[in-house]
Amino acid sequence: MQKLKDQLKEIIVRDLKLQGIEPAGIEDDAPLFEEGLGLDSLDAVELVVLVQKHFGVQIEDMDEGQAAFKSINTLAEFIDARR
């Protein structure tokens, strides 16, 4: 599971082009949106595409996405349960 979390951090920083953030500096339970990494709604759309592209897991609707995108931990658990 840690390998998946590390992979997610790398993908988020690289593909969302986050400036000044290192993957290793992202806490597993830190919020991805607002006060955490500061992602916004456009980033959420991109994240849905990235999860599909890299892991073959589809996020069906906004409610599912909100639950999955709370933190690296919740996203890793979501992907792991659906692979």
Report the amino acid identity of residue 39: L
How far out from the chain centre does Cα 59 lie? 12
Which of 60, 18, 74 lies closest to 43, judged by CA? 18
Each residue of 28-53: pLDDT tens digit? Answer: 999 999 888 999 999 999 999 999 99
List, in order of start, the domains of the chain with CATH numbers.
2-82 (1.10.1200.10)
Q: How far apart are CA 78 and CA 22, in angstroms?
A: 23
- pTM (global) more than 0.75: yes
